[in-house]
C-alpha cells in the first residue's frame, strides 16, 4: 500500500476537496479522517467506493494504531485527511495531525489556500514543510498571473508543487449547521471530485514508499446468528467505520431507514447513530408503526443504543422551529433544537451500572449537536469532560441506552459482545 496524508496550515483550506480529488484518481483506495468527524469520511467513501475510517486516540484509546493498520490492510492506496491546521490540537494530550503523521510515519501533502495570498503563501507554508512533506498543492488561485506570483517562491526554494486548483464555485460542497452536506445530498459529487482531481499531478506517488499492513483477527466472529440492525439514511448516518466493521465481526448486520418507515426484522440489537433527525422530523413522526415497534422492542428487553440524533429519536418528542413532533417514546422526555453548538471530546464517569458499563469505569467519546434534552430519566454517567444532558449522560430503560456521547464500539468490544447476543 502507498499511504500518504493531506494537511494544511489552517482549517478551511480545502483539505476535504483535495482529498476527494485525489481519491477520484485512485483505484482500490481507502481513506482515513483524523479526529471524530463523520461527514468527511462519508464524502470520501462516496468517491472511493470503499469504507472510510477515523484515527483518534482519544476515542479509540491505545488501540488506535492497531485499528488503523488493520483498516489499511488489503488496499493499494490510503489517503489520510488531517484535522484543522497541521499542529492544532486544543487538548491536554496531542491530538494534532502532526502527532499522527509523525507517530505513524505518514508522508504528506500540504494544501495552501492562496485566495488572499501571493508570495506570502510560501513563507506561511515553509513552517509546515517537514522532512516527510511530499510537496504542496496550491488551492483557490484566481488567475494565471496570481498563480505565477504564488508559485515563484516555492520554485525558488525547491519545494515541489504537486497541483494547483483554481477558484471555482461549481465544485464547492455546501455546508450547514453540523458541517458539509452528506455525500448522498451533493449533486454530482463524483464529477466535482474528478474536476478537482484533474489539477493534481499524481506522479508524486512515485515518492511514496510501499508499506505492507496485516489484518487484525483478534476479534473473532462469535455470533453470525446475532441479528444486528442499524438505522441508516439521511437522518441517521453518523457511524465510525471501525464500529460498523466490529459489528460485522460479531453478527449479521442489516440496515433500515427510519425516514421511510422501514422496520428491523427480528433484531437482537438495534443501533441508532447520530445525524439530522431534525431535518426529517415530519417523516420520522409519520412512521408511527416504526415508532411503536421500537418502543415495543425496548419494552421487551431487546438491546438498543441511540447516540445523539438517535437519542433524540428515542425521546417522546422533538421540537423544531416551534413545532413538536412525536418520536419513539422509549424515554419520556423531549428534545429541542437550539442555536447553541455543543462540540468536543467527552469523558464520562459511570456512577451507576448500565447494560454496557459498570460503576466506577471511565468512558471516552465525543459530542456534537445543536439540541437540548429535557428528561427526568436517571442518568448513569457523569460528564467529567463535555456537557451531556446538564452534566450527565447515559439514560437507561431496560436494555436501551441513550447518550449524547458517540462511542467507538471497537474500543469497548467486550462489552458490546456481551450485550449483543442471539435471542
Neighbours of 306 (CB within 10 A): 28
CA separation for the pair 199, 176 (Å, rounded): 27
Neighbours of 252 (CB within 10 A): 15
If you search the block for the grid coordinates 476527494, which residue do you land on? 20
DSSP state of 160: -
Catalytic residue among 308, 311, 356, 401: 308
Identify any residues that bridge with 325 across adjacent strands, giving them in sequence order.
Answer: 318
152 is an active site residue:
no
DSSP H helical ranges for 251-308:
281-286, 288-299
Residue 44 is placed in which grid cell? 470520501
- Beta carbons of 76 and 1 less than 8 angstroms apart: yes
* Cβ neighbours of residue 151 closer than 8 Å, sequence gap 6 or more: 138, 161, 164
Closest CA to 7 of 65, 83, 91: 83
- Beta carbons of 371 and 333 less than 8 angstroms apart: no
Residue 129 is placed in which grid cell? 514543510
**Active site (catalytic) residues:** 308
Amino acid at each position: 500500500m502507498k499511504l500518504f496524508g493531506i494537511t494544511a496550515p489552517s482549517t478551511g483550506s480545502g483539505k476535504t476537496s483535495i482529498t476527494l480529488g485525489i481519491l477520484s484518481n485512485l483505484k482500490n483506495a481507502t481513506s482515513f479522517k483524523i479526529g471524530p468527524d463523520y461527514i468527511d469520511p462519508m464524502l470520501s467513501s462516496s468517491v472511493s467506493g470503499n469504507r472510510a475510517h477515523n484515527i483518534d486516540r482519544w476515542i479509540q484509546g491505545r488501540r488506535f494504531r492497531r485499528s488503523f493498520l488493520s483498516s489499511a490492510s488489503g488496499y493499494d492506496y490510503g489517503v489520510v485527511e488531517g484535522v484543522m491546521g497541521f499542529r492544532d490540537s486544543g487538548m491536554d494530550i496531542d491530538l494534532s495531525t502532526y502527532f499522527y503523521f509523525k507517530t505513524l510515519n505518514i508522508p504528506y501533502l500540504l494544501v495552501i489556500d492562496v485566495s488572499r495570498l501571493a508570495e506570502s503563501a510560501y513563507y506561511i507554508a515553509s513552517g509546515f514543510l517537514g522532512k516527510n512533506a511530499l510537496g504542496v498543492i496550491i488551492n483557490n488561485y484566481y488567475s494565471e498571473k496570481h498563480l505565477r506570483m504564488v508559485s515563484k517562491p516555492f520554485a525558488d526554494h525547491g519545494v515541489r508543487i504537486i497541483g494547483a486548483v483554481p477558484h471555482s464555485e461549481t465544485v464547492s460542497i455546501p455546508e450547514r449547521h453540523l458541517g458539509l452536506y452528506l455525500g448522498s445530498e451533493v449533486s454530482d459529487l463524483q464529477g466535482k471530485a474528478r474536476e478537482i482531481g484533474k489539477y493534481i499531478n499524481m506522479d508524486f506517488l512515485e515518492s511514496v514508499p510501499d508499506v505492507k499492513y496485516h489484518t487484525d483477527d483478534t476479534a473473532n466472529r462469535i455470533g453470525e446468528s446475532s441479528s444486528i440492525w442499524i438505522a441508516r439514511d439521511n437522518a441517521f448516518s453518523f457511524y465510525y467505520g471501525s464500529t460498523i466493521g466490529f459489528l460485522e465481526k460479531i453478527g449479521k448486520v442489516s440496515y433500515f431507514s427510519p425516514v421511510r418507515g422501514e422496520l428491523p426484522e427480528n433484531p437482537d440489537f438495534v443501533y441508532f447513530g447520530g445525524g439530522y433527525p431534525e431535518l426529517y422530523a415530519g417523516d420520522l413522526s409519520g412512521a408511527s408503526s416504526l415508532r411503536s415497534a421500537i418502543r415495543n422492542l425496548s419494552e421487551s428487553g431487546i438491546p438498543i443504543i441511540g447516540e445523539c440524533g438517535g437519542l433524540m429519536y428515542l425521546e417522546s418528542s422533538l421540537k423544531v422551529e416551534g413545532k413538536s413532533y412525536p418520536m419513539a417514546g422509549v424515554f419520556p422526555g423531549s428534545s429541542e433544537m437550539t442555536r447553541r453548538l455543543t462540540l468536543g471530546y467527552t469523558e464520562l464517569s459511570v456512577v451507576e451500572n448500565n447494560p454496557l458499563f459498570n460503576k466506577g469505569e471511565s468512558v471516552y467519546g465525543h459530542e456534537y449537536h445543536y439540541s437540548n434534552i429535557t428528561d427526568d430519566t436517571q442518568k448513569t454517567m457523569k460528564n467529567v469532560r463535555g456537557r451531556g444532558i446538564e452534566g450527565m449522560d447515559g439514560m437507561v430503560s431496560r436494555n436501551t441506552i441513550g447518550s449524547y456521547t458517540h462511542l467507538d464500539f471497537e474500543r469497548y468490544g467486550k462489552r458490546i459482545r456481551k450485550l449483543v447476543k442471539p435471542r
